[in-house]
Amino acid sequence: MLNRNERRISGAQIKTAASLAAAACYGRDETGKNVTVDNRRARGALERAFAQLIRRGGKSFVMQVSEREALGFPGQQPHVANTVYALAVGLDAAGCGAYAIQGMGYVEHRKMPARIKRMADAEAARMAGAKARVELLEILDVDGLPQTG
């Protein structure tokens, strides 16, 4: 959690801090090697997420990201069609930023009514968010690691 003085920083300072936090993030690639998140779309998603995290006083949260952003993270593979992705960010006990990204998809039937598709999209988003939160909680249990597994 951030104290009152830390929450009073300006928008420019938030942007700078979020950019630094995103630059410090790592992920595991397909071979299991730790690599920096260097894809510009993925880095942009992390910057937005960390900026929001700072504005929220350091409280962990989840946001939806696009497929193009999600697939820019190390180790992310395409899922089935109609996949919704969620990015969770938080701070560990040492104050280091961490993230988790998860996707959840479903198979769309040919004659699926639009109302049912909207419900399936919402449920997929809810499940992706829940999976990302659980993964983030596991990551935050380890002090000082600004990375995801």
Binned average pLDDT, 10 residues per bin, the chain of 149 residues: 65 90 91 92 97 91 94 86 91 87 84 86 92 91 54
Contacts of 119 (CB under 8 A, 6+ apart): none
Quick one: pLDDT at residue 149? 43
The residue among 36, 53, 45 whose CA lies nearest residue 1 is 53
This prediction's pTM: 0.83
| Residue 8 CB burial class (10 angstroms; 0-12, 13-18, ≥19) | exposed
> What spatial distance separates the first Cα and last Cα of the chain, rounded to whole Å?
23
Quick one: pLDDT at residue 35? 93
Ramachandran angles phi, psi of 111, nearest 5°: -105, 30
Quick one: pLDDT at residue 3? 64
Give the 3-state secondary structure of 17-41. Answer: HHHHHHHCCEEECCCCCEEECCCHH
Quick one: pLDDT at residue 111? 81
